[in-house]
Each structure stands twice: as C-alpha cells, then as structure tokens.
A and B are shown apart, each in its own frame.
Chain A
C-alpha cells in the first residue's frame, strides 16, 4: 500500500507540473507582446516595464518556467495588477466557495444516487426499477447549466423558494447552506444518474457472491444483508467515479457560479478572462487543476485501501 501511495502521489505531482508548465509555456510564447498578453491592453507602460523585469520576460523560456515554479513553491502566485493584491489572496478566498459547491454536489449525487441504485437493485425489474433506469439516463443527459438555468427560473424567480444570487451572509452557516442547495443540486443531478446506475450494477454483482448467500443461509434478515453487507462493497465503484467526476463538476461549477452569481474559482476565472487579467487566470488554473488532481488521487487511494485488488491493476 505504501509503494502504491507513493507511486500515485508522484504521478499526481508530475501531472500537475506538466499540465501547468504546458499552459504557462503556451501563454508566454504566444505571438504578440507578452506584457499585453499577460497584463492586458489597458496596462500602463510603467506596469509593463516593471512586469517585464519582474517576470524576466527577456530570459529564455526554461528560465522563466523555473522562476515561475520557484515563486509558486514559495507560495507566491503573482500579483493581480488591477486590484493590486496578491493572486493567492483572490484565489484562496474564492476556493472555499467552490469547494463547498462541489462537495454539496457530491452530497446530493451520493445520497440520492446510492438510495436509488440500492433500491432498484433490491427491487429488480419492478416498475420503479425501470422508471429509475430511464430517469438515470435522462439525468445524465441533462446539461448541468440548463438544469441550473431552469432551476433558477422555477424555484428562485417563479416560486421564490430559494435566493437567486450570492452565497449567503458570511459567518451565517444556515444562510450559506440555504444559498448552496439549488446550485449544488444543479451540478449534482447528472451524477445522481451515474451513481444510481453504478451502484445498481455493482450491487447486483455483489448479491450473487457466495458470502452473501452464506449470510442469507445463516438467516440474517434480507434488509441487513442488502443494506449492510452488499451495499458497503457496492458503493466502491461509485467513489472512484465521483473522484474522477470532480473535473466535470468543476466545469459545471463555473456555470452554477455564474448563473447563481456566486463567488468562487469559476466566476473568478470568468471575470479575469473577460478582463484579460492573466496572472489571476494562471493562479486560478493552478489551484483548479491541483484541486481536481488531489481529489482524483484521494478517491484512488480510498479505493485502493478498501479493495486491495485495485492496487495491482495499474
């Protein structure tokens, strides 16, 4: 397990390193004056000169790259020249909102998906199983930003059950959660379908294992066998899928944050792109990719810890 963990961590670090370096190289080597590209057309000549010196833009690309990583490792993500603040401050004040949103979505998809999946496996070929089957596919198919728009229209604008904008009062947990319900559901809905199907399929597989038959032969109640014994094993593939799915959820979070006017990494990148605020774009990308790779890594390790077969697969 230790070797496996070290291997996975090394791979994850290498992926983040290469992914960000590639992006950095593309941004710096693109035709045109890099100060215009990186600072936007509205930067003053003084800022440009300072930036050119500070970024070492006259150095060869590998030196710039090394400088960039040196600064990142020291915790400096650059400076947001428009608002005159460190990029790290902007990014890390936005990150908790996006994290809450993504984990809210995971909460919805895991809770609803596992219940639906386990129930369909338990009542196989019943009407409810069939309806769930079609509904899962329909949920998977529904584009998350259309779901977000429709949810906003129905529940916030028309029915006025939920707020339309913002992330709630700072410090007030109740208000924060209240503002989180609709956007996280809009992101999670697609994953409800995925999780339900995966749990159903792996549950059916588990139920045919011999130890389940043994448990039944011992006379354990059906409900205990299904929900205590089989379900525990059957949710493993769902953990893996949700871990990898965080990348998709991050993309969906961009829409949810814009549709519901929430602060977060997605709306930060969106605003920075519209304002051509490159240091912030770069910093947010770094954090978003790091976040995604970390989550996928954690899901992988959880799976490896729970199911030893997983460790030898790759």
Chain B
C-alpha cells in the first residue's frame, strides 16, 4: 500500500483531469447498470396527455412527442451506447492486434499486403460507408457494430504493427533469441506486454468515437430499430420538433457530450502515464 502513489491508479488519481474523467465515466456506467431502478418512469410508456411536457418535478427532462419520459429514455440509451462501444471496440481491437502482429512479424510481402489493406479501409469515410452499408444490411445494433469494426480495426493494426516492428529488433529481444527463447515466449512474454500500452490508450480514445458513431447512425435512422431509446434516436426526435420543444435536443445531447468528454480525458491521462514519450511538452 505504501507505493500506491506509484501505481497506475495512484498516478491517475493525482491528475485532476483523470479524476473528472473517472467520476463522469463511473457515473454513467452506474446509471446504465441501474437504469431500471433509477428511472422514474417506464421508458416505453407513452402518455398522450403529457406530450411535449417541459422539464418539471414529475418529468425531470420533459417528455417527447409520444409523451415518453426523456430522462428514463436517456438512462436506457446509456446501456445501448456502452454495449455497442464495448463490443465493437473489443472486436476491432482484437482483429487489429492479430493483424498488426502478423504484419510486424510476417514476411515483407505480408506486411505490404496488410498495410495496403489498412490504407484501403481508411479510405472509407465512416458515416458515408455506414449509409451505403445500411442500405444493404438490416437495421439494428449488429449493423452498427459491423460498420464500426470495418472502419476502425485498421487503426489498431497500424499501431500494433509499428510497435511490433520497432520491438522486433530491439536488443533485449535479440538477447532473448540468442538465449534460445521460443517464438511463443518472445511474442507473449516480451512483445505483447510492450504493445499493450499504446493499444489500450487507442482503445480508450476510441470508445467515445464509437459511441458517437452509434448515436450518429441512430440519428440518421440507420442505427437502432425504431422505438429504441438510443441517444441518437432521442436527438432525432428532438430535431424534428426543434422549434417548439428545444429541451429534447438539449437534454439528448448532454450525455453524449459528457461521455465523450469523460473518455477523451481518460485517454489523455492514460497516455500521459503509460507513454511518457508522448507526454505533452511542459
């Protein structure tokens, strides 16, 4: 315990930006987990008598065009956002990790092929590809996840490849090899732990991007199925009635801004701690 200050968590807690980030993120995660307990109303319940109700003690953030409680819907939306973000980021990070290490370790032609593959995927502007694919695939969360994975794993692949390449000929690896270490030992004991730092920073930085893509696709009507309380869908409802009931858009955008802010701050703080070379010039 005496050295807590020097552990990763200890150092993070000394950074005010990281503390703000952790508070925001844990608040959102808790709100998403206990959404059913916290929610004052059923997020599906329509109450035609209270359509477009402004924020009040009864409806904290007002109601939408069908008289559904916006606050309860935003709580549910947090679940969707976190679910999509965790799933899509883990899948694309895993694919990127494997392909990146293959490119870093493999023969020259494989490296070049994979690099070209990564470059090609990067040429698709995310939302525009999402629109094109949405026309072909059924509407739903799995389509959102496919779009995110297709457009983002190449980024992990690049980072892992660069890191692997620079480690491959590092002196300690050569020493290991000279001592007769197996390929598996070099990869899993030496390369992998050193690759994971930048890899996790990228993942933390990518979570808010994915959440924004999900919300964006749902806003465009190509994400979640109709009626699902995604943050993007709430914003779309608000956009349709922006002139008369601005509070739907105002409250619909807030969790999105908070969550992206929280994860971006966390990513920054993690980078400062895990990757001293990239630390901002002070």
Contact = CB atoms under 8 A, between A and B. Distances in A.
B193 interface: no
A35 B7 CA distance: 61
A153 B242 contact: yes
A205 B281 contact: yes
A220 interface: no
Question: Chain B binding site: helix, strand, loop or mixed by DSSP?
Answer: helix
B268 interface: yes
A125 B127 contact: no
Interface string A45-79: 00000000000000000000000000000000000
Contacts of A96: none
B133 to A, nearest CB: 8
Interface string B20-37: 000000000000000000
A88 interface: no
Interface stretch (A169-177, A225-233, A288-296): A288-296
Contact of A141 (B116, B239, B260, B282): B260
A186 B17 CA distance: 25
A281 B281 contact: no
Given A149-B249, A150-B253, A285 B132 contact: yes
A217 interface: no
A258 B220 contact: yes
Interface stretch (B64-72, B167-175, B211-219): B211-219
Given A143-B215, A278-B135, A254 B128 contact: yes
A224 interface: no
A153 to B, nearest CB: 5
A102 B264 CA distance: 24
Contact of A270 (B131, B235, B282): B131
A157 B246 contact: yes
Nearest to B134: A273
A288 B125 contact: yes
Given A143-B257, A146-B235, A255-B216, A273 B123 contact: no
A251 B125 contact: yes
Contacts of B132: 23, 269, 273, 281, 285
A288 B128 contact: yes
Interface residues of A, number: 58
A271 to B, nearest CB: 10
B12 to A, nearest CB: 16
A228 to B, nearest CB: 21
A236 interface: no
Question: Chain A binding site: helix, strand, loop or mixed by DSSP?
Answer: helix
A49 to B, nearest CB: 23
A247 B256 contact: no
Contacts of A115: none
A248 B125 contact: yes
Given A146-B256, A201-B280, A157 B242 contact: yes
B219 A255 contact: yes
A276 interface: yes
Interface string B119-141: 11111111111011011100000
A195 interface: no
Contact of A251 (B126, B235, B246, B280): B126
Given A11-B119, A26-B136, A266 B128 contact: yes
21 contacts: A15-B119, A137-B264, A137-B268, A141-B208, A141-B263, A142-B257, A142-B261, A143-B260, A149-B249, A150-B250, A150-B253, A201-B281, A204-B281, A247-B123, A248-B125, A250-B125, A250-B128, A254-B220, A281-B132, A289-B123, A292-B123
Interface of A: 11, 14-16, 18-19, 22-23, 26-27, 30, 37, 125, 133-134, 137-138, 140-143, 145-146, 149-150, 152-153, 157-158, 197, 200-201, 204-205, 247-248, 250-252, 254-255, 258-259, 265-266, 269-270, 273-274, 276, 278, 281, 284-285, 288-289, 292-293
Interface of B: 17, 116, 119-129, 131-132, 134-136, 208, 212, 215-216, 219-222, 235, 238-239, 242-243, 246, 249-250, 253, 256-257, 260-261, 263-265, 268, 280-282
Given A15-B116, A23-B132, A150-B253, 9 more contacts: A14-B116, A19-B124, A143-B256, A247-B122, A252-B127, A254-B131, A255-B127, A273-B131, A284-B128
